[in-house]
């Protein structure tokens, strides 16, 4: 982290300070002129890696308040740039401070336009810093830090006048609701406590008359005035800064206030620039006056710091992840060793238990073969229920048919058991495309009523109806193996009352197979 160095600029000289852990150490005082600029350039080259903050305390500072229509983006930037050019023409050291939007009406946004109207005083110092390529964080004015100081003292009041003493003179800053509205610097030639106190009282009265003329304060309403003084000078301030109907003075101990803010190097007199420099180092205001070109190297440092910070975060993340992986690998290795040792122990216990078993009549390979064969047979076993249900459904559609006997088979040939056709054609061998499939075969031996013995056409219709009812199940292969009579081309079917044919009960056989 680079060191923070603070520059304090007034009308006559520029002072350089090193801020470290709440302490300010003066490192140089450079007067305006060629000799002072040369010494300042050498100082910058010696400390070019530090971050520099320039605090200006000059009288040439303007303040203008205006409400503008609410805009955003590029329109807002263009509008503010045009207004700054109108109020502070020729000075690049200007900025706009937003006070927020109004509560009523069209809710315009209220701005304070402030600028340093004497840029010639800053140009040689800024040029030297740009030539040395130092990291200039910004140019700030002492009134902008007044709001931060008031926040350390007490909650923001509706109206307040802050009076401080610096090397530049008596600084009077007027605040409304904790926000700067106006500031004025009056040079002070005398350095005694009595003269300083008298000047503060006189300037407070003058600034009150100015605020009345600008209608910033109301007549008859006392204006709170806060003045900072050295503990040794408090008596002089109390004697000369007396309360009136218009002004109510509050004298604060500069040392006590500095200690409450964390300042370790306390001022030797009532001048308070050390306190403002400390506040600037602690928390620089968001608004500042330096243009972007003068802050270029500071922006580059910020970008570089952000990249380095991101790299450090990524590196730490990688290290944490690597550490986690290493821990998990170490833990896994330990558990693996434990598992391996447990496996060896379990194997020894199992071998010891095996030795207690009686000897087997055959080897494990033979037993495994037998068990595998049993599993294959078990897989090829088929329940009879599906074929029972199919035959039952066919009998419901053919009430004349009665089942006399059913022969069950399990075969790789779907035509197994078709003895009635064996004499006419050889049994079909199982096809290779079946892939060794098994079939459940049922040979149904059925009878018809005796009354149908003389009605050959009725017998044929009943048997065909029974077969048709079975074929409605697409998974069944149904074949009629034997009819109650012979069907030949030279014979004719008869129906009627032939007593010889009707004496016997008609029998038939149906072959049914289902692929498992």
pLDDT at 412: 81
pLDDT at 491: 53
Q: Give percent of the chain above pLDDT 90.
A: 52
**Which token pair is 63?**
């303040």
Domain count, the chain: 2
Q: For residues 357 and 236, give the distance between their C-alpha atoms in angstroms, rounded to a whole number.
A: 113
Task: Tell which of 275, 294, 313 closes a domain.
Answer: 294
Q: For residues 448 and 46, give the distance between their C-alpha atoms in angstroms, rounded to a whole number.
A: 126
Residue 131 domain-assigned (yes or no): yes
pLDDT at 499: 47
pLDDT at 300: 92
Q: Please provide the DSSP assignment of 287-350 as one string.
A: -----TTTTHHHHHHHHHHHHHHHHHHHHHHHHHHHHHHHHHHHHHHHHHHHHHHHHHHHHHHH
**Which token pair is 397?**
């559609």
Closest CA to 272 of 149, 178, 157, 179: 149
Are 396 and 274 in the same domain?
A: no
Task: Tell which of 294, 314, 338 closes a domain.
Answer: 294
pLDDT at 426: 46
What is the pLDDT of the chain when averaged over all its residues? Answer: 87
Q: For residues 456 and 506, give the distance between their C-alpha atoms in angstroms, rounded to a whole number.
A: 9
Are 265 and 394 in the same domain?
A: no
Q: Are 352 and 474 in contact (CB under 8 A)?
A: no
Question: pLDDT category, 158, cuts 50, 70, 90?
Answer: confident
Q: Per DSSP, what are the bridge partners of residue 338? A: none
Q: Please provide the DSSP assignment of 196-211 as one string.
A: HHHHHHHHHHHHHHHH
Are 56 and 185 in the same domain?
A: yes
Q: For residues 5 and 53, give the distance between their C-alpha atoms in angstroms, rounded to a whole number.
A: 6
CA torsion angle for 87, 88, 94, 96 (degrees, to 10)?
0
Are 390 and 267 in the same domain?
A: no
Are 265 and 397 in the same domain?
A: no
Residue identified by tokens 């060896």 is: 344
Task: Read off the pTM.
Answer: 0.64
Q: Are 94 and 116 in contact (CB under 8 A)?
A: yes
Are 254 and 402 in the same domain?
A: no
CA torsion angle for 395, 400, 404, 408 (degrees, to 10)?
-30
At residue 258, φ and ψ (nearest 5 deg) are: -65, -40
Q: How far apart are the first and last CA of the chain?
A: 83
Which domain does 190 fall in, by range? 4-60+118-294
Are 254 and 151 in the same domain?
A: yes
pLDDT at 443: 92
What's the distance, CA 431 to chain centroid?
A: 66
Residue 351 domain-assigned (yes or no): no
Neighbours of 448 (CB within 10 A): 22
Query: Above 70 in pLDDT, residue 494?
Result: no
The pLDDT of 293-315, averaged and rounded, is 92
Q: What is the pLDDT of residues 386-436, one digit of tens each?
A: 888 888 888 888 888 999 999 888 888 888 877 544 444 444 444 445 556
pLDDT at 46: 92
pLDDT at 128: 94
What's the distance, CA 477 to chain centroid?
A: 67
Question: What CATH number does residue 249 fall under?
Answer: 3.30.420.40
Q: For residues 171 and 163, give the distance between their C-alpha atoms in angstroms, rounded to a whole number.
A: 6
Are 151 and 250 in the same domain?
A: yes
Residue 405 domain-assigned (yes or no): yes
Give 57's DSSP letter: -
Q: What is the pLDDT of residues 15-39, one digit of tens each?
A: 999 999 889 999 999 998 899 999 9
Query: Above 50 in pLDDT, residue 501?
Result: no
Question: pLDDT category, 177, cuts 50, 70, 90?
Answer: confident
Query: Above 60 in pLDDT, residue 488?
Result: no
Are 281 and 396 in the same domain?
A: no
Are 391 and 284 in the same domain?
A: no
Question: What CATH number does residue 464 fall under?
Answer: 3.30.980
The pLDDT of 36-43, averaged and rounded, is 94
Residue 363 domain-assigned (yes or no): no
Are 247 and 388 in the same domain?
A: no
Query: Above 60 in pLDDT, residue 76?
Result: yes
**Which token pair is 424?**
């006419």
Residue 361 domain-assigned (yes or no): no
Residue identified by tokens 């006048």 is: 161
Query: Above 90 in pLDDT, residue 279?
Result: yes
Residue 449 domain-assigned (yes or no): yes
Q: For residues 383 and 413, give the distance between their C-alpha atoms in angstroms, rounded to a whole number.
A: 18
Residue 145 domain-assigned (yes or no): yes
Helices (H), 356-411: 364-380, 385-397
pLDDT at 436: 60
Are 17 and 154 in the same domain?
A: yes
Residue 328 domain-assigned (yes or no): no
Task: Tell which of 294, 322, 337 closes a domain.
Answer: 294
User: Is 219 strand, coil or helix?
Assistant: coil
Contacts of 216 (CB under 8 A, 6+ apart): 159, 174, 176, 181, 182
pLDDT at 254: 92
The pLDDT of 133-145, averaged and rounded, is 93
Q: What is the pLDDT of residues 322-364, one digit of tens each?
A: 999 999 999 999 999 999 999 999 999 988 888 887 877 777 7
pLDDT at 206: 92
């Amino acid at each position: 982290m680079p060191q923070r160095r603070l520059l304090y600029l007034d009308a006559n000289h520029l002072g350089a300070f090193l801020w470290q852990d709440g302490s300010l150490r003066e490192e140089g005082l450079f007067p305006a002129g060629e000799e002072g600029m040369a010494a300042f350039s050498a100082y910058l080259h010696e400390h070019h890696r530090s971050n520099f903050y320039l605090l200006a305390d000059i009288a040439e500072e303007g303040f203008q308040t205006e409400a503008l229509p609410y805009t955003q983006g590029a329109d807002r930037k263009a509008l503010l740039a045009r207004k700054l050019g109108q109020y502070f023409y020729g000075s690049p050291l200007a900025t706009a401070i937003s006070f927020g939007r109004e509560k009523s009406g069209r809710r315009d946004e209220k701005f304070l336009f402030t600028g340093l109207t004497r840029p010639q005083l800053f140009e040689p110092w800024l040029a030297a810093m740009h030539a040395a390529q130092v990291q200039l964080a910004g140019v700030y004015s002492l009134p902008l830090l007044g709001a931060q100081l008031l926040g350390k003292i007490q909650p923001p009041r509706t109206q307040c006048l802050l009076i401080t003493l610096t090397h530049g003179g008596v600084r009077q800053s007027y605040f409304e609701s904790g926000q700067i509205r106006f500031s004025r610097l009056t040079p002070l030639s005398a350095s005694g406590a009595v003269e300083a106190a008298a000047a503060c009282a006189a300037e407070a009265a003058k600034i009150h008359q100015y605020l009345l003329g600008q209608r910033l304060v109301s007549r008859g309403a006392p204006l709170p005035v806060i003045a900072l003084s050295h503990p040794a000078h408090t008596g002089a301030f109390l004697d000369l800064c007396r309360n009136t109907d218009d002004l109510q003075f509050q004298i604060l101990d500069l040392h006590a206030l500095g200690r409450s803010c964390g300042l370790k190097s306390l001022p030797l007199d009532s001048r308070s620039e050390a306190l403002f420099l400390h506040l600037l180092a602690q928390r620089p205001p968001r608004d500042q006056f330096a243009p972007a070109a003068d802050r270029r190297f500071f922006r580059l440092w910020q970008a570089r710091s952000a990249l380095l910070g991101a790299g450090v975060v990524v590196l730490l993340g990688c290290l944490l992840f690597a550490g986690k992986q290493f821990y998990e690998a170490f833990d896994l290795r330990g558990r693996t060793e434990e598992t391996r040792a447990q496996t060896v122990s379990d194997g020894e216990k199992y071998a010891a238990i095996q030795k207690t078993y009686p000897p087997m009549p055959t080897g494990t390979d033979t037993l495994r073969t037998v068990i595998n064969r049993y599993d294959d047979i078990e897989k090829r076993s088929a329940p009879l229920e599906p074929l029972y249900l199919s035959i039952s459904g066919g009998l419901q559609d053919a009430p004349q048919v009665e089942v006399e006997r059913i022969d069950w088979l399990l075969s790789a040939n779907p035509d197994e058991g078709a003895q009635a056709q064996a004499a006419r054609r050889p049994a079909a061998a199982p096809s290779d495309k079946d892939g060794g499939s098994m079939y459940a075969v049922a040979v149904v031996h059925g009878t018809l009523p005796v009354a149908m013995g003389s009605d050959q056409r009725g017998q044929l219709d009943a048997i065909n109806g029974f077969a048709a009812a079975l074929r409605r199940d697409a998974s069944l292969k149904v074949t009629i193996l034997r009819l109650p009579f012979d069907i030949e081309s030279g014979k004719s079917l008869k129906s009627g009352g032939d007593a010889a044919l009707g004496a016997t009960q008609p029998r038939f056989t149906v072959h049914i197979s289902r692929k498992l």
